[in-house]
Amino acid sequence: MKNIALILSYDGTNYHGWQTQKNGATIQQTLTEAINQILKCDTYVSGVGRTDAGVHARKYVANFKADCTIPLQRLPLAINAILPEDITVLNAVEVNNDFDARFNCTKKEYAYYIYSSKINDPFLSKRAYRTTYPLDVNKMNEGAQFFVGTHDFASVRSVGTPVKSTVRTIFHCQAEYVENHNFVIENAKLIRIRVCGDGFLYNMVRAISGTLMHVGSGKLKPEQIKEVLLSCDRASAGPTLPAHGLYMNRLWYNDTDELKSYKLDV
């Protein structure tokens, strides 16, 4: 029996997140059913993390154990033939028997996309959050630096899954303009907020993004981010932005893992 890791990408618009549940289609369930159909097995697919309903992934890692006689370089093509077009397996690689996509991941980066326009861009309506007022990306980036380090992030999380601690470490946090060729709205600028950490609380990146949006609009000064964190008060931070602007963007694995040779960054 092989332990096989898959690298995939997906548009989460039509799914109730990664984890299998009773009330709707999920990425995990859809991928598992495709694998079981191809390999004639009944396996469990473990993912690097839970993404919520509507959240996307540029790079995502999952693994499963099964007897697989299909050459691994052909396995993605076989699975993709079953999957819907909004989920794509990019690569497949055999990993050590004790490898787990979730527990072997050392760092994760999420990206959140925002654009300012009074008119909706139909090509971004499910892939970026629109605000109708201008944002100062330089001030947003200045404020983002206060999130870097080990802090109690209770003020930028939603109540959800119980956790033992709300302390996490953020390795980098940046706000920047990026080019986007999908725009049909003139003069609209796409802002990307990238947050990399050792782990995240429920809705943490979406709340960080909403707080930085308040900085960009002038509702908060960049240096006030420090006060927001120290308060541990959710009401002191910005809103939790909608799921459709969020992407799992980049993943890091240990040097000893077979996945190290694969490009997991975007």
Residue with tokens 């097995």: 41
In sequence order, the β-bridge partners of residue 215 are none
Q: Is residue 52 flagged as an active site residue?
A: yes
**Among residues 52, 136, 152, 198, which one is catalytic?**
52
Residues 6+ apart with CB under 8 A from 92: 4, 5, 6, 7, 72, 73, 75, 76
Between CA 183 and CA 33 the distance in angstroms is: 36
Q: What is each CA distance from 134 to 20, 176, 179, 242, 266, in whole angstroms?
A: 39, 14, 17, 18, 27
Between CA 228 and CA 205 the distance in angstroms is: 15
* Residues belonging to the active site: 52
